[in-house]
Amino acid sequence: MARGAFGQGDFGKLTIEDVEIKGKRVFIRVDFNVPLDENMMITDDRRIRSALPTINYAIDEGAKVILASHMGRPKGKPDAKWSLAPVARRLQRLLNKEVLFSQEMHGKGVKDTIGKMRPGDVLLIENLRFDPGEESNDEKFAQELASLAEIYVNDAFGAAHRDHASIVGIPRFIPAVAGFLLRKEVGYLQGVVSNPVRPFTAILGGAKVSGKIGVLENLIDKVDKVIVGGGMAFTFIKAMGYEVGDSLVENEMLELAEKIRQSLIKNNVRFYLPVDCVVAQSVEPQAETKLVTWQEIPRGWKALDIGPASVKLFSEALANAKTVIWNGPMGVFELDAFSRGTFSIAHAVADAYALTIVGGGDTDLAVSRAGVSDSISFISTGGGASLQLLEGKELPGIAALKDRK
C-alpha cells in the first residue's frame, strides 16, 4: 500500500483556507448521515470524524461554526428516529468541547442562539430533511439557511451529488467554498481517473450492472484491467450466452454489458470475470451451499459469492497494479456463508503495492469488517457521489462553489 499525492491539490474551487472566516458566522454543510442501532447509538462515526479537520480549522480560526446535515429519510417532517441529537453528543466528545444543538433549523430561536455565539463556538442544527424544502431545493428554505451565516462551506461529499437546498441553494445567496474533506475526495477520485499511475485496475462488484455501467463506460480508455465480481458479473456472463441459474441478472442490460465488454477488450483492457462461485437456493444464513464453476450453476441455484479460484485469479491480476479502485462487494458479504470472496479481495487490495481507493457504501463496510481499513490509501465517504465522479460527471454541489480564478 502506498500513499499518493492526490487529495491535496487544486481542484479549481476556493476552499475554506482561501477566505477570511475569523469572527464570522460560517455555515458548514457536513455529511453526518451515520448508521444508528435500535437504541439510537451510533455504530460507525467515520463520517463525523472525516469532517473534523474542517471543523477544527474553523474553530481554530475563530469562526462561529454552524453545522448542518441530513440523516436518513424522514420524509420532510420531524421524526425523533432521525434526530441529530446523538450526533451532537458524539461530536462533543470528539471535539472535546461543547456543541450547542438547535431543534430549529432557521427562524428567530436559532438566530438568537447564533447571536450569542462567540468565536470558536459550535452549533449543530437539526436534520435538514425534517423540512420538505431541503430535498425539493426550495428557494425560500435555502435563503433562510443562508441568512444564518456569512460564509458557506461544503464538506458533505456524500451529499454533493444532490440538488438539495443546503447543497446548491445556499451558494446562491452567500459566498460558497469547499471544505477539506470535499477537496480530498475530489482530489483522489478525479485524480485517479484523469491521471492514474499505471497499471490501473478497477474492481467492480455489488448487486447491479445498471449502477456501475457508467463507470465502466468512462474507464474504457483509462484502465488496464477490469475485474467484475458480485451480482453484476452474472449479467455479463449471461450476455456471453451462458446459463447462470437463478443468479441476479438484469435482462435489460444484457446488450449494453456485452457491448462494453467488447469495447474494453478492443481497447486492450484485460477483463476478468469469476471462474467459480458459491451457490445456494436462497439468500439465507443457513442455506445449503455448493462450490461450482460458473458454467455449472444448477437450475434454481443462485451464485452469491466468488469462489477460491476466482479469488486467486483476481489477486494475481492485482499483483502488479500501481493504482486500484474498488467499488462493490464480490458477494452477499453480509452473510458469513457468502463473505469469503469479498474479504479475500479486501486483503488482496490492502496488500497491493498500489494507490488503493475504495468507493463508499457497502465496500467501505466490507473493508472495515475484513479489518484492513488502515491499509487502504483512501476510503471514500460517499457512495453515489463517488460513482458520479468515477463516471466523469461534475457534482452539482461542487459546481455551485466559487471558482478559483
Q: Read off φ and ψ for residue 291, nearest 5 degrees.
A: -105, 120
> Binding to ligand AMP by residue 341, rule CB under 6 A?
no
> Least distance (Å) from ligand AMP to the CB of residue 265?
23
By CB under 6 A, is residue 370 in contact with ligand AMP? no
Q: Per-residue string for binding with ligand AMP, 190-229, x by CB under 6 A?
A: ----------------xxx--x------------------
Near ligand AMP by CB under 6 A: residue from 245, 328, 382, 397: 328
Interface residue with ligand AMP among 84, 145, 248, 389 (CB under 6 A) is 248
CA gap 352, 324 in Å, rounded: 8
Strands 276-280 and 289-293: antiparallel
- Beta bridge pairs of residue 289: 280
Can you tell me the distance from the alpha carbon of 404 to that of 14, in angstroms, rounded to the nearest whole number? 5
Query: Catalytic residue numbers?
Result: 47, 208, 361, 384
C-alpha to C-alpha distance for 280 and 294, rounded to whole angstroms: 13
Helix (H, G, I), strand (E, B) or coil at 220: coil
Binding residue for ligand AMP (CB under 6 A) from 303, 313, 376, 385? 303
- Grid coordinates representing 198 are 499505471
Closer CB to ligand AMP, residue 74 or residue 331? 331
CA-CA-CA-CA torsion sign (284, 288, 291, 294): negative
Q: Taking a C-beta distance cutoff of 8 angstroms, is the pair 178, 13 a contact?
A: yes
Q: Mark residues 41-70: x for contact with ligand AMP by CB under 6 A, - for none.
A: ------------------------------
- DSSP codes joined into one string, 112-165: HHHHT--TT-EEEE--GGGSHHHHTT-HHHHHHHHTT-SEEEE--GGGTTS--I
Q: Which is nearer to ligand AMP, 169 or 361 (CB)?
A: 361
CB of 203 to ligand AMP, least distance (A): 12
Stretch of 22-30, 70-78, 331-339, 395-403 lying at the interface with ligand AMP (CB under 6 A): 331-339
Among candidates 130, 127, 55, which has minimal Cα distance to 84?
127
Distances (CA, A) of 403 to 79, 194, 198, 239: 37, 20, 31, 44
CB of 205 to ligand AMP, least distance (A): 6
Nearest to ligand AMP by Cβ — which residue?
Answer: 206
Contacts of 268 (CB under 8 A, 6+ apart): none
* Residue selected from 332, 354, 370, 398 as contacting ligand AMP according to rule CB under 6 A: 332
Using CB under 6 A as the binding rule, whether residue 187 contacts ligand AMP is answered as no
Q: Which stretch binds ligand AMP (CB under 6 A): 100-108, 124-132, 183-191, 330-338?
A: 330-338
Q: Which of 4, 133, 169, 329 binds ligand AMP (CB under 6 A)?
A: 329
Q: Does 331 bind ligand AMP (CB under 6 A)?
A: yes
Is there a contact between 223 and 269 (Cβ–Cβ < 8 Å)?
Answer: yes
State the minimum distance, in angstroms, from the CB of residue 365 to ligand AMP: 9
Binding site for ligand AMP (CB under 6 A): 206-208, 211, 230-231, 248, 303-304, 328-329, 331-332, 334, 361-362
